[in-house]
């Protein structure tokens, strides 16, 4: 199905206010299906806010008002019949600081399944298989297969972040949102997580917020440059970095402001 679809996420005139402060000002964009889209821009430009709109998790915090339309995989997520539970099941999020739950590796991976499937569907073999698949997909299986029942706190940060990605996978998400997923990691761990993202591209639509220009260039297929709550430029990553059409984009990616 995703093969025929060109755009996974379409927003139209999306505006958002925190109280009186307008964080997003009429954002309209199309994000291609099955590729990695990077969101870049200086701090406070609305990247993270935009990301958080895509699974409507912004609404959990009080005093937030949204206007406009967000269409994910052909469905307006502000429609009345949309269930936030179902939406967040298929639009997962990875955070800046790895935030595995304080339970074992195994339980972290099956946490979502245990919530979203009936108990009768969850035999031990189903769970075991889900863990092996998810950890395999994030390349943790080899390292952790003998430590599945260790507490997450015994893991290195890189492993924790991969675990946070792995726990989304058993729910078969369509979209994975990542909010600066590598900023707490060192160079090697960053490389490992970036490789992982590349390997996930194609199966999932990934939107990643990053402050690291080099990273955006390395991993994203498309790139969106935001400034003051609006999109300034959006293009294939190569084109955006080599031939920015907007002067502000050029200034930003050359590091004249940040």
Partner 1 sequence: MNDSQRFTKTTFTQKKESREKWVKVLLFMVTLMMALAVILLVSFLVHKALPVLSLNFFPDIPRDLMSAGGIWPAILGTIYLVVLSLMVAAPVGVMAGIYLNEYAKDNWLTRLINLAVINLAGVPSIVHALFGLGAFVMFAGLGESVIAASLTLAVMTMPVVITSTREALSAVPMSFREASWNLGVSRWQTIRGVVLPNSISGILTGVILEVSRAAGETAPIMITGAAASITFRQGETVYYLLGEKFMALSYHLYYTSMGWKVPDKLPNPETGEMVPMTQAALEYAQAIPYGTAVVLLGVVLLFNSVSIAFRYYLRTHRKW
| Per-residue DSSP letter, 32 | E
Q: Which is nearer to partner 1, 93 or 219 (CB)?
A: 93
118 forms part of the interface with partner 1 (CB under 8 A)? yes
SS3 category, 14: strand
94, 194 contact by CB (below 8 A) = no
- Which residues between 11 and 70 bind partner 1 (CB under 8 A)? none
Residues 6+ apart with CB under 8 A from 247: none
Shortest distance, CB of residue 74 to partner 1, whole angstroms?
A: 3
Binding piece for partner 1, criterion CB under 8 A, among 84-92, 156-164, 201-209, 228-236: 84-92
Q: Which is nearer to partner 1, 83 or 153 (CB)?
A: 83
Shortest distance, CB of residue 46 to partner 1, whole angstroms?
A: 24
Distances (CA, A) of 13 to 16, 50, 255: 10, 12, 29
Count other C-beta atoms under 10 Å from residue 75's C-beta.
12
Shortest distance, CB of residue 253 to partner 1, whole angstroms?
A: 32
86 forms part of the interface with partner 1 (CB under 8 A)? yes
Shortest distance, CB of residue 124 to partner 1, whole angstroms?
A: 21
26: left (phi over 0), alpha (psi -120 to 50) or beta: left
Applying CB under 8 A, among 63, 83, 120, 153 the residue interacting with partner 1 is 83
CA–CA distance, 74 with 72 (Å, rounded to integer)? 5
| Per-residue DSSP letter, 80 | T
Applying CB under 8 A, among 10, 57, 64, 82 the residue interacting with partner 1 is 82
195 forms part of the interface with partner 1 (CB under 8 A)? no
Q: Which is nearer to partner 1, 10 or 201 (CB)?
A: 10
CA–CA distance, 256 with 184 (Å, rounded to integer)? 24
Binding piece for partner 1, criterion CB under 8 A, among 82-90, 106-114, 136-144, 196-204: 82-90
CA–CA distance, 222 with 241 (Å, rounded to integer)? 10
Shortest distance, CB of residue 118 to partner 1, whole angstroms?
A: 7
81 forms part of the interface with partner 1 (CB under 8 A)? yes
Total interface residues for partner 1 by CB under 8 A:
15
Q: Burial of 226 by CB count in 10 Å (0-12 exposed, 13-18 middle, 19+ buried)?
A: buried
Residues that bind partner 1 (CB under 8 A): 1, 72-75, 77, 81-83, 85-87, 90, 116, 118
């Amino acid at each position: 199905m995703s093969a025929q679809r060109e755009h996974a996420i379409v927003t139209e005139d999306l505006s958002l206010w925190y109280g009186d402060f307008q964080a997003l000002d009429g954002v309209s964009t199309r994000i291609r299906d099955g590729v990695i889209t990077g969101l870049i821009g200086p701090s406070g430009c609305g990247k993270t806010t935009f990301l958080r709109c895509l699974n409507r998790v912004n609404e959990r915090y009080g005093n937030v008002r949204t206007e406009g339309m967000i269409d994910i995989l052909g469905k307006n997520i502000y429609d009345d019949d949309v269930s936030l539970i179902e939406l967040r099941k298929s639009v997962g999020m990875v955070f800046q600081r790895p935030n595995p739950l304080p339970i074992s590796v195994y339980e972290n991976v099956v946490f979502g399944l245990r919530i979203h499937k009936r108990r009768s569907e969850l035999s031990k073999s189903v769970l075991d298989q889900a863990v092996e698949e998810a950890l395999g997909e994030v390349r943790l299986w080899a390292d952790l297969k003998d430590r599945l029942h260790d507490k997450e706190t015994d893991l290195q940060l890189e492993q924790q972040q991969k675990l946070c990605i792995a726990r989304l996978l058993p729910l078969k998400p369509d979209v994975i949102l990542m909010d600066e997923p590598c900023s707490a990691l060192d160079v090697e761990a960053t490389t490992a997580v970036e490789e992982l993202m590349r390997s996930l591209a194609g199966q999932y639509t990934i939107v990643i917020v990053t402050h690291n220009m080099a990273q955006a260039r390395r991993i994203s297929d498309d790139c969106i440059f935001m400034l003051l709550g609006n999109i300034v430029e959006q293009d294939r990553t190569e084109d955006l970095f080599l031939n920015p059409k907007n002067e502000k984009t050029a200034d930003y990616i050359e590091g004249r402001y940040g």
